[in-house]
Amino acid sequence: MSNHSVPQLQLALDHTRLDAALDAAERLHEYVDIVEAGTILCFSAGVEAVRQLRQLLPEKTLVADFKVADAGSTLAELAFGAGASWMTVICAAPLATFASAHEVAQRYQGEIQIELFGNWSMEDARNWRGLGLKQAIYHRGRDAQAQGQSWSQQDLDAMKALSDLGFGLSVTGGITPQELPQFKEIDVRAFIVGRALTDSANGVATAAEFHQAINHIWGK
Ligand code: 5RP
């Protein structure tokens, strides 16, 4: 067992149809801590996905995974106005985009999450902290995963460095319960899980497997 806090479980809804996403949310929301309107769903159904998920789950922490690259304040108005608690901004976005999205997020008592894909540096991370951003998502992309990319020591070291800077860290990208032990030294705020929950024959049982593994590794 570790000294870190117990990570939460976040359900990512990456359906191409809103009705299927709402069905999955109804089925699984009680078994997860956070629900996300995934990027694929947001492309398919737009901000309506966030609005309907908020209607269905008035009390839940809800993420709009827009992966914003520009027009930070406009897109943040759309996300938070529709009921999002948090919205993602991609690490490649200019600092000005982070600043404008963060300003809107604060007005709604929401938060911005930085999506870490590909190229970024610890200097970027310090700049994001300087703006007051507190959450980052360490991401293995589904295309990279499909080409065989696994988690490396370099990934784990970067995660630790981000935690040391004060970021609450979420980890995502094809995560399964069997993969969790490799993150045992990391202070993970949440594991974001899509397909392992939504494509499972029994998503409720799979969510239970995640919680069991999380409690075994990080539980007090
Ligand atoms: C893709 C995403 C996904 O929502 C996230 O990675 C979780 O999905 P999965 O567990 O199916 O990989 O943000 O960009």
Structure letter (DSSP) for residue 22: H
Q: Check if 193 has its Cβ closer than 6 Å to any atom of ligand 1.
A: yes
- Going by the DSSP 8-state scheme, the letter that residue 1 receives in this structure is -
**Confidence band, pLDDT 50/70/90 cuts, at residue 118:** confident
Amino acid at 206: T
Specify whether the CB–CB gap between 12 and 38 falls below 8 A: yes
What sign does the CA torsion over 10, 11, 16, 21 have?
Answer: negative
Residue 144 beta carbon below 6 angstroms from any ligand 1 atom = no
Q: How far is the CA of 127 from the centre of ligand 1 (A)?
A: 26
Whether the per-residue pLDDT at 117 is higher than 70: the answer is yes
- Residue range 140-167, pLDDT digits in tens: 988 888 898 889 999 999 999 999 999 9
Q: Which atom of ligand 1 is nearest to the CA of 137?
A: 13
The structural domains of the chain, ordered by start, are 8-218 (3.20.20.70)
Shortest-distance atom of ligand 1 to CA 198: 11
Buried b or exposed e, range 143-168, using 16+ CB within 10 angstroms: eeeeeeeebeeebbebbeebbeeebb
pLDDT tens per residue across span 35-91: 999 999 999 999 999 999 999 999 999 999 999 999 999 999 999 999 999 999 999
Q: Which residues have CB under 8 Å from 59's CB, separation 6+?
A: none
Cα 165 versus chain centre, distance: 19
Name the 3-class secondary structure at 34: strand
Q: How far is residue 149's CA from residue 213's CA, in Å, rounded to a whole number?
A: 23
% of the chain beyond a pLDDT of 70? 98
- Residues labelled as active-site residues: 39-40, 67, 70-71, 75, 115, 139, 142
Is ligand 1 within 6 A of the CB of residue 40? Answer: no
- Which atom of ligand 1 is closest in space to residue 12's alpha carbon? 4
Question: What is the rounded distance in angstroms from the CA atom of residue 202 to the CA atom of residue 164?
Answer: 37
CA of 66 to the centre of ligand 1 (A): 12
Q: Is the CB of 4 under 6 A from ligand 1?
A: no
Q: Which residues pair with 139 in a beta bridge?
A: 172
Which pLDDT tens digit goes with each residue over 1-44? 566 799 999 999 999 999 999 999 999 999 999 999 999 999 99
d(CA 190, ligand 1 centre) in Å: 13
Residue 33, both tokens: 């801590």
Q: 173: which residues sit within 8 A by CB, 6+ positions away?
A: 139, 140, 141, 142, 144, 145
